[in-house]
Structure 1
């Protein structure tokens, strides 16, 4: 009787794995929110793997996977949202820099870089400060 239950669980998990594989392969690259769609489909794959582990008697491994898989999916989605998702995250969209000429403390980045390059050529040595370097020989 136990063998029939294990076989049924393995067949169910195999079916879910095939469905999730077809789902991932059927997504086109121009799909909106592609990363989130893939993570959603891989959630089905995760459940199928958990069912398969339960069927073969790996209860502890299935429990650990059941706990850690959502954390990993959330970490991937959060990292994508914070760093690369320009479509949904308006903070990442390039914004035109507005420079207020009346405030001398706010300058554009290009202006600051040009001033720094001009000043680096005209720097004169200040006798009040000295910089020493310690040379370390790795052979010693």
Structure 2
């Protein structure tokens, strides 16, 4: 009888895994908030994994996974919100600060690209590597 219950739980877990995989595959690039949608879909993977662990008799592991999976999903979503979600996070929609031209260590991106292209014309080196050098004048 226990084998039948375990088999049914594994079949349910397999079904949830297939549904989740189809959901991840069906997400297209035009979907808004892809990261959040993927995290939501991966929640089905988590439940399937918990059901499979219960079916295999790994109750403690299933309990730990049941507790930790939401925390990790929240941490990923929160990190994305704080650092990269420019579509929804108004604080990240600000224009980049202007870089002081006279600062000895921080240079504008355009200036660095111009220097790299100028140096690449002078030196015929492998394009896979980019080397930036700093000139230090000891008199300053």
Normalising by structure 2, what TM-score? Answer: 0.70
1:92 counterpart residue number = 92
Q: Which runs of 5+ in 2 are unaligned?
A: 105-136
1:14 counterpart residue number = 14
Instruction: Report deviation, 1:83.
Output: 0.3
Q: How many residues align?
A: 108
2:39 counterpart residue number = 39
1:81 counterpart residue number = 81
2:30 counterpart residue number = 30
Instruction: Report deviation, 1:95.
Output: 3.5
CA distance in 1, matches of 2:68, 2:34: 22
Please give the root-mean-square deviation of Cα atoms over the aligned residues, in Å: 2.0
CA distance in 1, matches of 2:48, 2:61: 14
Check 1:96–1:72 CA distance in 2 against 1; reply closer, same or farther (3 A cut). closer
Deviations 1:36-92 (A, max 9, x none): 000000001100000000000000100000000000000000000000000000110
Check 1:89–1:7 CA distance in 2 against 1; reply closer, same or farther (3 A cut). same
2:60 counterpart residue number = 60
SS of residue matched to 2:11: helix
Instruction: Report deviation, 1:94.
Output: 2.5
Give 1 or 2 for the bigger CA radius of gyration: 1
Check 1:71–1:96 CA distance in 2 against 1; reply closer, same or farther (3 A cut). closer
Check 1:30–1:12 CA distance in 2 against 1; reply closer, same or farther (3 A cut). same
CA distance in 1, matches of 2:102, 2:52: 64
Written as runs of structure 1 = structure 2, the 5 A alignment for 1:81-120 is: 81-95=81-95, 109-110=98-99, 113-114=100-101, 116=103
